[in-house]
Every structure is written in C-alpha cells, then in structure tokens.
Structure 1
Amino acid sequence: MPKVCEDLLYSSIILPMIPLCFYPVQRYVKNRLSVLAGKIVIALLAMVSCVVLVGRIYSLGDVTDFIIYPAGIYFLYLYNREVRLSFSKKLFAFLSACLVGGFSKLYATMFDYTMHPSGNALAFSYEALGVQVLFLVFADVILYLPLTRYMGWVMENFHEEAVWKRVWCFPAFFLASTYFMYPRVYRNMYVGYVRQLYPFVLLFFTFFVVFIYFLFYVVAHSFVEKQKTEIANQMLLIQGAQYQQLLRNVEENSRIRHDFRHQLIVISELVGQKEYEKLKEYVGRYIDEEQAEMKLYSYSAALNALISYYESICLRRGIETDFAVSLPKKQQVSDQDFCVMLGNLLENAMDGVRDMEEPYIRLKIWQTASNMVAVKVENPYQGEIKKEGRHYRSSKREGFGQGLESVNMIAMKYGDMMEVLTDGGIFTVKILLQTPSGE
C-alpha cells in the first residue's frame, strides 16, 4: 500500500470519535447532525490530506502521529463554532471523546504486542488498527445512551461556570495518562510479569475513570436538585405571600360590600340636603381609594406569582412599573428557568433604580413564534457600567454580578441569544428563548 494511503488510513481513526463529541450536546448544535457531520468529515479529510501530502513531498518521515494533533485542534475549532454552549462545556465533551480514543489506543496496543511480540508502537499493525476501529465503533454504540441521557442532562442543567472551567482538567489529565501508559517497545512487556499485570492495570484504570465520571454526574445531579428545591421553596414563599394578599383582597371586598349600604345612606342624605359640592367631593374620594388588586399576568401560577410579587415591591418603593406579558397557556420554557431568569432581571432592575429620582421598570414578554419567546427588561441607571467581555461587574460587591451570569447561562441553554444595551442612561436586556419545535 502506498505510504500516503497508509497515513490516511491510520489518520482516519479520528472519524469514529466525532459522534462521541456530539452525543452530549446534540440539542445545542446549530445545524442538523447529518449536515454537520458531512461538513466536518469533508473539512477534516481535506486538512489531513494536505498534511500527509506535504509530509510525503518534503520527506518528513512518519507523519501519522503528527497529523492527529493539528487535526484535533482543527476539529475543536469547528466544534466550537457549531455548538451553542459555553466553551468550558464543549472542551469537557471534546476531551472526553479524546479520552475514549486514548483508551482505544491502549487496548489496540495490548492486542498488537500480543500478536507481534517483536514489534513496536511505530510499526502499529493493520490488525491492531482494526481492533482500535472496532473498539471505537463499539464505544459509539454502547456510550450513546449514557452520553445523551446523563452527560447531556448535566450539560443542560448544571450551569456552574466556575466548576466547568476546572472540571475539564480531569479528562485532560486522564488523556495524558493514556499517552504515557501504552508501550513503545513491545519486548519490554515480556519482562517479568509485566504482560500478565498490564491488562489488570488497564481494566482498573478504565473502571476508575468511569467511576470519576459517575461521581461527577451524582454530584452535579445532587447540586441541581438542591438548587431546584431552594427555588421551589422560594416560589412557595412568593406564592404564599400572594395568597395572603388575595385573602386580604377578599376580606377587603367583603368589608366594602358590607359598608356600601352606609355609603348609600350618606349619599342619600347629601342629595336630600342638596349639598352637591360635598356629594361630588365625597364620591370622588370614594372612587380614588386605593384598592389592592391581584393581577393575572400569565397562565403559569409560578410566573404570575413572581411578577405580581415584584410589582408589589416596586409599588411600595415608589417604582413605576409597566409589565406586559402575553404568553399562551402551554409554555415551552420551564417555570423554573423562567422564574430564575425574571427574578434576577427584576432584582437587578430594582437595584439599578434605587437612587433614581423617577424610577421605573418596563418588562415585556411575548411569544414571537411557536418555539420563540422574547423577553425585554429596561430601567434607567446612573453611574458607570463596568464590563469585561460578556460579563458585567457587580455594583454591590467585588467580582462579577451573579444575577446576569445566571441569566446568561439560561439564555445559553435556550439558544444563546441575549443582548445587553446601556445607551442613553437606559439599561436594557433583550433575550430570545428558543426551544426545539414540538418539544
């Protein structure tokens, strides 16, 4: 077989690793998976072919190992462009797929030194290559459910960016370990009990890595469930406050109906005495009395309670509100995500107008398509807005504002379409939440 074809054959081992990268993030891929796979395969093959040809033209020797690294970096570049998630999450998924590739190399090498005791890693046999391909194809099949269901769940629900910025180090460390574990000279495996012990060490290492991933899922799941419980408790408190407000409204209306007969007596006396000016003044005062009102913003009880709760706070603080919500009965965005997002946005807005002479908050929520919901919150502000990249520094403490960070993570979950404007002393947040059609 020509050397160029041989290099291409050995380099094509990266192709069965591609699905492993997309299993956990398939909900966040910009294009259809079939179209995306075609684009990536064509781009990688073109890139690898160029490297191989250059290596052969300039007699660079064995370029097979050299190809894998630039091809991996190039794929990571394409992968980053095609997936709507934070880079830390994408890097974790990419390195996890590479780790499976590292294990495939270890098991294929174990087969190779068994079949060719006098060989070495540079003379990797076609049989061993076939074993590596079969290992990866089997991994594509056997890992589909764990990666889509469990790691996909973690990608979708666990949004602690500080953790994601560190946790990718684990697959990177294990991947580096696989590189140092596979033997270069096979005859060294036949010294003492090395050949007998190596399979047990490899199996132990495999199960240890699987256990670490399982532990990460358990910890992330426990954290998310605890967070959901805290949010649910907070929503119960808000709904409880709204329920008490509703009871007060009912009691107030009952009292008004009871007292209305006395009001009619007063009005009748004023009419009988022809005290029309006093009658006008009395009726005007009666009409202008503030009546507590329970508004219906949404068919979602949680969302309605949240918006009503913050409107009542704004009313007590003298903040003018203009809340307009138009949503259908069947809402595709989860109540938890919606309430966390709006709670943070309205909290930030109230903090922003705290020292304003004429404070106001405008909220608008409407459905733009069957799978699109738009959210817009604006309020005046004073002072300097400090921004670093996509992140805003907190005005209350050192570091970045946690409210907008949380909102940003939810926006990324639903399409990463969030815009923050600070023009003319008005702080505006625009978000477009997108969910897959029919979901």
Structure 2
Amino acid sequence: MTFYDIFTYLCTFTIIIPLAVFCLFPVIDHLKTPIRHLLIKISLVFVCYFVLLIIPYMIFQQDLGNILVFLAVPVFFYLFQKETNLMLPASLFVMLTACCLGSLSYVIYHTFGVIFHPHGQSTEFYPESMIAQLIFLVFADIILYKPARKYLGWMVTNFHNAFVWRIACIFPCCFTFLVFTYIPHNYYDIYTYHDLHVYFSMMLTLLVFVFLLYVLFYTIIHSYVENQYILEEQKILEIQAKEYSQLSQHVQETREIRHDFRHQITVISGLLNQGNYEELKEYLSQYESSISLQTKIYCRQPAVNAILSHYDLLCAQDKIKSKFAVDFPTLSPISSVDFCIVLGNLLENAYLECKTLQKYEKFIHLKARQTSPGAFVLLIENPYEHEIKKTDSGFFLSSRRKNCVGTGLKSVTAICKKYDGHLSIKTDNHRFKVKMFLQC
C-alpha cells in the first residue's frame, strides 16, 4: 500500500465537501451558531472523518468507498440537525436533496468512465472521472446557490407541516436509489449491448422528472402559504368589520341620546326642584346603565385598533384582566397587515390559554411601541398552567392540536425574520413571555 493508493482512496470521499456546502444554502438563516464558527466545526469534522476512513482501508486492503459514504450520511445528518433550528423532516429533505445532487455527480463520474475507459469497471478509480465529478459539484453549488436560498430556503422557513415534509422526502430518496441501482458495473457491456443511449436517456428522464417534482412541490407549498396569509388577512378584516359595526352602533346610540337629552334634563330638573333626591339618584343610575360604554381607541391605526378592541371585549366577557398599551405609527415601514397577524396570533394564544386557567389569575399584558427611529418592540405576557412542550429544534407544540407545531408562533417567527428582527420566548414561574424586536 503506497501513499498514492491512500491519496486516491481519500479523493473518492472529497465529494462530501461540496455537498455539505450545498446543505448550508437553504438553512443559512436558521443556523444556531455564527457561520465562521460553524465552518471551523465542519473542517474539524472532515479532518476526523478522513482520518477514520484510513483505518478500514488499511485493515481490509480494499476500497469501501460507497459503503462508508452511506454509513456517514446519518452521522452527518445528526450533526447538521444539531446546528439548525429547523424541524427534523425539513432538515432531512434538505439533506436528501444534497444526496440527489451527489447521486447525479456519480452519473457524471461513470459517464467519463464509459467514454475514456470502455473496458473498465465502476469499482475502479479514474482520476479524470473524479476531477469531472468534483468540477460538476463545484459548478452545481455556484449555480444552485440562489435557487436553493430563494426557493428551498423559503419553503423551510415558511412551511411547517411535518407530515408533508416526510412525504416529500420520498422522491429524492427514490431518485438517489434509482441512480445507484442503474450504475453500469461493467462499462464494456454498455457497448456490447448498445445500451449507452438507453442509459443516458433514462438518467436524463429521471433528472427531468425529479426537477418537475421539485417545481410542483414548491408551487403547491407557495400556494398553500399564500392562502394561509390571505386567510389571516380575512380574519383581520372580519374583526375590523365587527369593530366598525360596533362603532356605528355606538354613534347611532349617541345620536339618539343627544336627541332625547333635553327630555332627560326636564325630568332631572323637575326631580331636583321637588327635592326628591333618592328618586333622582335612582333615575340617574338607570340612565347611566342605559348608555353603552365608549369604544376604546388604542392607537391611530384602525386595523390594529380593531384587533385590540376585539380581544379586549373577549377578555371582558371571560373576566380576564387585559392591559394593552400599543402605539403603532401611522406611517411605518412595518405593514399593518403583518403587525395585525402578529397581534392576532399572540393575543389569540394568550386569550385561549387564560380562558382555561383554573389555578392562576387571568391576565394579558401587552406593550408595543417604537423605541427609536429604527426599532419597534413588542412585549406580551400571560399565565399558563399546562405543560409547555417543545421539539428538539426549539419549536413550541400546540396545546390544542396534539403533537403539532403551533402555527401561530410560526407565523410570528416568519414575520419577525421578514423585518430582520429577533424573537425571544421565555417560560418561567408559569408566565409565558414573548418579546419581539423589529427593524423599521
């Protein structure tokens, strides 16, 4: 065994490096550690991996390349999942997409082997094939950087249905399996049976098919997320319509009160002149109770005011102490629709939790205002008494949908990322506290 043998053996594993780089593209906004620190960790892992690869090679005296690559995939996935805050099925889909790309690079490898070594075999090492495979992966990383960030990154950020992600993992698995299944083991057989054009046609068909599946998957996910956003907007509009209806009713009541006010003055004046103070007191009490309370104005933005009024009314009906202090600027870079979605989801979660409380005082405290020309801060706090469950990736599980990731906080997280903000969630002493910072 020479140094050249060890070198060529290790070269067969270098394809893992560009594939690992590809895995980072869609999840770069979801990394738990800074990218520089992560690159150092990745480098150390690869050094350890290549050192460990030499041991079985020296023991068995043969190339176990493909076997060791497949055995390494679960280990790399575990390390990859630990460094991101994505749900496991979404991370798995990203990793399997990289495996798809890796299997395609093997098609390039064996294509060069068939062309330059017609009497060779797939198990042999060919330097020109290895170089072509690496060049393909490097160019693939460069070409796919923007699509992976824009489309795949958008999906893992905005779509959070674990079941659908699990189903979606099937087609990159199938593509990878089929590519490795149809690798020509003896290159000469392709020429003997005139199967060269059949092999390339089949690989091209598989590639086009899986590409169309990815496009279709993105289209479906994008439509679903957009529909969810529209439903959120409709919910806000319904609340606004209800608030405006209540406001119109209040205006009509005020108009009627003004019309009848002179009659009330006559009655009050008569009772006062007669010195009948007890009856006057009772009459004023009845008159006061007949007047509806004035609609509260929390801020100058009608949509935001409607959301706050809606939940303030619900809290009053269920004897929940609500304290809202919100100052949302009329002219703000933050969309009022986005801010209403944040408010609606956070207040809905807090209200539904307080509604079922048995042990603790029911209250919701909300503060939101622009603290500086480029910063908007929101704080909300409410008690809870059930067990707070989280996934390994840090996502909170819904208390109303068993073992499902809460969609409310996921929507809030997505909007927070949209404005380059920061979301902090703390649970201590049976208090659920959410703090959100948005750049505006």
TM-score category (smaller protein): 0.7 to 0.9
Distance 1:29 1:358 in 2: 37
- Structure 1 residue 263 corresponds to structure 2 residue 264: yes
Moved more, 178-187 or 30-39: 30-39
Q: Cα–Cα, structure 1 residues 201 and 174, in superposed 2: closer, same or farther, change >3 Å?
A: same
CA contact under 8 A between 1:320 and 1:360: conserved in structure 2?
yes
Distance 2:30 2:369 in 1: 21
- Structure 1 residue 132 corresponds to structure 2 residue 133: yes
CA contact under 8 A between 2:328 and 2:370: conserved in structure 1?
no
CA contact under 8 A between 1:367 and 1:374: conserved in structure 2?
no
Residue 383 (structure 2) aligns with: 378
Distance 1:107 1:401 in 2: 43
1:61 shift after superposition = 2.6
1:9 maps to a residue whose letter is C
- List per-residue Cα deviations over 1:121-159 (Å, max 9, x = no partner): 222311111111111112112212222222222222222
Residue 23 (structure 1) aligns with: 25
Q: Cα–Cα, structure 1 residues 322 and 347, in superposed 2: closer, same or farther, change >3 Å?
A: closer
Residue 319 (structure 2) aligns with: 319
**Quick one: which of 336, 349, 352 aligns to 2:353?**
349
Q: Please provide the CA RMSD for this pair.
A: 3.4
Residue 96 (structure 1) aligns with: 97
- Structure 1 residue 52 corresponds to structure 2 residue 53: yes
1:80 maps to a residue whose letter is Q
- List per-residue Cα deviations over 1:174-216 (Å, max 9, x = no partner): 2222221222222222122211221121111111010000111
CA contact under 8 A between 1:363 and 1:378: conserved in structure 2?
no
Distance 1:269 1:32 in 2: 79
SS at 2:406 equivalent:
helix
- List per-residue Cα deviations over 1:47-87 (Å, max 9, x = no partner): 22321332355355324334423443333222212212111
Q: Cα–Cα, structure 1 residues 392 and 233, in superposed 2: closer, same or farther, change >3 Å?
A: closer
Counterparts of 1:30-179 in structure 2 under 5 Å? 30-40=32-42, 42-179=43-180
SS at 2:32 equivalent:
coil
Residue 212 (structure 1) aligns with: 213
**Quick one: which of 412, 429, 433 aligns to 1:430?**
433
Distance 2:35 2:237 in 1: 41
SS at 1:174 equivalent:
helix
1:239 shift after superposition = 1.3
Distance 1:173 1:391 in 2: 31
Count of residues in correspondence between the two structures: 421
CA contact under 8 A between 1:21 and 1:94: conserved in structure 2?
yes
CA contact under 8 A between 2:296 and 2:309: conserved in structure 1?
yes
Q: Cα–Cα, structure 1 residues 323 and 165, in superposed 2: closer, same or farther, change >3 Å?
A: farther
CA contact under 8 A between 1:8 and 1:48: conserved in structure 2?
no
2:41 maps to a residue whose letter is K
Distance 1:401 1:298 in 2: 37
2:50 maps to a residue whose letter is S
SS at 2:268 equivalent:
helix
Residue 198 (structure 1) aligns with: 199
- List per-residue Cα deviations over 1:361-382 (Å, max 9, x = no partner): 4243547984764433336x7x
Q: Cα–Cα, structure 1 residues 368 and 235, in superposed 2: closer, same or farther, change >3 Å?
A: closer
In percent, how many aligned pairs have the same letter?
26
- List per-residue Cα deviations over 1:281-324 (Å, max 9, x = no partner): 54455556553333344565444323322332343x44333142
Distance 1:113 1:160 in 2: 43
CA contact under 8 A between 1:47 and 1:71: conserved in structure 2?
no
Q: Cα–Cα, structure 1 residues 195 and 241, in superposed 2: closer, same or farther, change >3 Å?
A: same
